[in-house]
Homo-oligomer: A and B are copies of this chain.
Amino acid sequence: MMQPIKEVLLFLLLAIFSKATGTKDYPNSRYSMPGDGASYCLSWRLAVEANNVRAWRTVPTQCLRYVESYMIGGQYDRDVELVVEQILCYVNEVVLSGDGMDAWILDVDDTCISNVYYYKGKRYGCDPYDPAGFRAWALKGGCPAIPGVLVLFNKLIESGLKVILVTGRDEETFGQVTRDNLHNQGFVGYERLIMRTAADKGKNAVTYKSEIRKQLLEEGYRIWGNIGDQWSDLQGECTGNRTFKLPNPMYFVP
C-alpha cells in the first residue's frame, strides 16, 4: 500500500513546486520525459544528431540551460561512452590484414579533445561563431581529452589499426599547438595528423575531408572506421566502412 501513497505525495509535491517556481522543467512521468521547455530542446538535440536540422548557426536561446546541463551534467559523457562501446564491438569484428594499411580516421575538435570550456564562454553555442575567439582559445593548447575517446584511441592502436587524425584546423597557425595539445592529453602513437594547407583554404569540410580520405585510399589504406562530431566529417566520398557520429549540440560545421 506504500507505493500509491508515495506517488500521490510526489505528484502533489511536484505540482506545488511547478506552481511555486513557475516552470515546467520538472518531469511529467515516472520515466523522466522532460517538461515543455526541456522537451523542445530534447527534440531539437535529437534532430541535430539525426542530421534533420542542418546549417544551424546558433543553439536556440531557450535551450542554453538545457545544453549546459547536457554537456556538463553527465548525459553527454554517457552518450559518448555508449557510442564508444558500439565502436569497440565493431572493431572486434574487423579482421586486419596485418600489412599495416588498416586505418581508422578520427576528427580532432570535440572528437579527441574538447572545446566545452571555450563554449561555456559562448553560452554553449547560443552566441554565434567567433573565429578570433576560437583561434585564441585553440592557440592555448589546453583542450582536455574526451575520456571515452582517449580510451578508444589507445584500443584502436593496440588492435593494430593505423590511427589517422584529420582536422579542419590550419597547419600553419595551429600545427605545433595541436600536436602539443594532443600529446599533453595522451594522444600518442597516431600514424599521422592531417591539417589544412594553403591549398585547402576555403574548401568546405565535406570536400576537404573527402579529398584527404580519397588520397589515403590511393596510398593503399583501407578505412575501417571514421569518427567525428559533425556530419560533415562523415559525408561525401570514401567515408569509410563504418562511420560514427559523436554528439555535439553546440555548433554546426558545414
Contact = CB atoms under 8 A, between A and B. Distances in A.
Interface string A48-86: 011111000000000001101110011100110111001
A97 interface: no
Interface string A27-62: 111111111001110111011011111000000000
Given A33-B73, A70-B33, A47 B83 contact: yes
A43 B13 contact: no
Contacts of A31: 25, 34, 38, 65-66, 68-70, 73
A73 B29 contact: yes
Given A42-B75, A52-B244, 11 more contacts: A6-B17, A26-B32, A29-B73, A31-B34, A31-B70, A33-B75, A43-B79, A46-B82, A47-B82, A47-B83, A52-B83
Nearest to A227: B52
Contact of A28 (B28, B65, B73): B73
A20 interface: yes
Contact of A69 (B13, B33, B42, B78): B33
A35 B245 CA distance: 24
A33 B79 contact: no
Nearest to A21: B6
Q: Is the interface of A mostly helix, strand, loop or mixed?
A: helix
Q: How many copies does the complex hold?
A: 2
A125 interface: no
Interface in A2-36: 6, 10, 13, 17, 20-21, 25-35
A49 B43 CA distance: 12
A240 interface: no
A178 B50 CA distance: 28
A192 B231 CA distance: 32
A168 interface: no
A147 to B, nearest CB: 15
A145 to B, nearest CB: 20
Contacts of A81: 43
Contacts of A68: 31
A13 B66 CA distance: 22
